[in-house]
A and B are shown apart, each in its own frame.
Chain A
């Protein structure tokens, strides 16, 4: 009975396995990409491009990284900031030691170094889980930052502690880091990189490696008996997650702030990224973007609304409100909807459409 009608469904399996199975989703995605790649660079002010879109995109990348590890592979990490710092400092060392290295190579190598560091700090995950693992990754966070602060080699023996990222060009004289880089160049460069990496992450999560991660997350005993090796699976999650976080850290230092400093990657960054994936949705790539958008935009939105209302002391009030709203939302999502905004969006879509086929 199992052997029948081979091949007949091939075309439809390919369609069934497309990332966006529905026409509406494909149109929606096309529209978002058009807005992001064409409309935004044309109409976006410098404020929008540099102060809103850059941190949003870079945080999204870090959130994808953490989501691969925590949302998909089920390994809780509080070391995101440390891994981002590792990426930033690796990129700095590479770019200063080899000034001719292309910016893409700098980023990929920085990500790879961070991946190796991630594997190292992922080793405890082979023995411990959950809360204890979180504490172990917290140790990574503190150790890495301590290292970059204390060992002058990492800052090329600079006396000030704040060092500026060297200028790098994507082609010819189109600079994407340093003083000569235009907001549009920086934005488009970051956007392209984040889009490609997000697509790669999506592909991984729906293929072998992603299934192995989720299997280990959901039921490690059964996973092992199917032939999944817990060690390589967990360490691969640490490696790839750290690769993403490393590139995010390098982009943050080189493209967004232009300064390489450990201070930018303190523990609160780790928590921010964790909150992003909780609010956006554990185990979804698109949720990582939603969470990042929410957390980057919330303070800006609050500030502007309060200012528009003419409230004095708006800044202090906004930050209080921000903390309260975030706290409430995190509790809400943890208890009610662990799949976060991404899931709420999906439910909304399901209600909105009348699709004749259930699958």
Chain B
């Protein structure tokens, strides 16, 4: 297990870039002309971009650029004043959290949003709630579908637990876990939804190097093995350049650039607005 993991870590990047190229499909989600205001604050103005099936799409930009707001718009938590979505070729005038969840859009948060009073296992099991069919009476009686489902979902969740290497904290209330593990449990909960599109808001923020490497590996593995499309916000430019296929750059709520990591890296406006800041 350890050697396998190390091997994976060593060659995951090459392997990923090598294999991923072939898997990227058509447009999964297109965001069109989205504008979002909070009172006087223009969080997003006329932003359009698309996400292709199977790719890792990064969103970068300085603090307050509107990155998190963009994710909140995509999963229907914020209602933009303007704009629409195209999901698998179908136009949606508006997105709602419940609709997003049924479409298969999962998400993690910048400030961890776990269910603190519940154990790791229950947090992850909650991610499968939309797939549970048992009636209320079956649940009260622990009978029929309730019982069968619970065991089937438990088996699925155990595979995620193995995959993310969190077996030892299964029955620990998540409020007691250290920060890095909480981030991992949050990813596990999102994966339990078997998402088509996974939105990750700064999944590596505040982690040490080793934790970051693990997280990178998990994201790449999820993307490769299940073809899950990933949109991630990240401040660590090294990570972004390494793992993403295409990058969206936001600045003051506007789309500044959109392209491959190389294109974006060499874009003078990006250097001025964003990378320039880093080197200050």
Which residues of A are in contact with B by a Cβ distance under 8 Å? Answer: 1-4, 6-7, 9-10, 13-14, 16-17, 200-201, 203-204, 207-209, 211-212, 214-215, 217-219, 221-229, 236, 283, 358-359
Contacts and interface: CB of A to CB of B under 8 A. Distances in A.
B140 interface: yes
Contact of A222 (B113, B136, B150, B168): B113
Given A2-B159, A211-B126, A228-B126, 16 more contacts: A1-B162, A6-B159, A13-B151, A14-B151, A17-B154, A208-B129, A208-B132, A214-B115, A217-B117, A218-B118, A219-B114, A225-B100, A226-B130, A227-B101, A227-B102, A229-B98
Contacts of A3: 159
A222 B225 CA distance: 26
Contacts of A2: 159-160, 162-163, 225-226
Interface residues of B, number: 47
21 contacts: A1-B163, A2-B163, A9-B155, A10-B155, A13-B158, A17-B151, A200-B140, A208-B129, A211-B129, A218-B114, A218-B116, A224-B98, A225-B107, A226-B126, A226-B130, A226-B189, A226-B193, A227-B97, A227-B102, A227-B130, A358-B171
B32 interface: no
B101 A203 contact: no
A170 B203 CA distance: 60
Contacts of A226: 101, 106, 126-127, 129-130, 189, 193
A283 B115 CA distance: 14
Q: Return the 9 tightest CB-CB contacts between A and B, nearest first.
A: A227-B101, A218-B115, A222-B113, A200-B140, A227-B130, A2-B159, A207-B139, A224-B97, A203-B142
Contact of A219 (B75, B116, B125, B158): B116
Contacts of A227: 97-98, 101-102, 129-130, 193
Contacts of B125: 211
B52 to A, nearest CB: 23
Contact of A211 (B118, B154, B170): B118
A203 B139 contact: yes
Contacts of A13: 151, 154-155, 158
A219 B162 contact: no
B146 interface: yes
Given A211-B118, A222-B113, A224-B98, A9 B158 contact: yes
Contacts of A6: 155, 159
Contact of B115 (A4, A219, A229): A219
A236 to B, nearest CB: 8
B122 interface: yes
B218 to A, nearest CB: 10
Q: Which of B106, B117, B160 has the most CB of A within 10 A?
A: B117
Contact of A207 (B75, B114, B127, B150): B150
A76 to B, nearest CB: 15
B237 to A, nearest CB: 28
Nearest to A216: B115
B50 interface: no
Contact of B225 (A1, A9, A208): A1
Interface centre among A7, A10, A224, A358 (most CB of B within 10 A): A224
Nearest to B105: A225
Contact of A208 (B97, B107, B116, B139): B139
Nearest to B147: A14
Given A1-B225, A2-B160, A10-B155, A219 B101 contact: no
Given A200-B140, A204-B140, A225-B75, A211 B151 contact: no
A203 B137 CA distance: 10
A122 B60 CA distance: 43
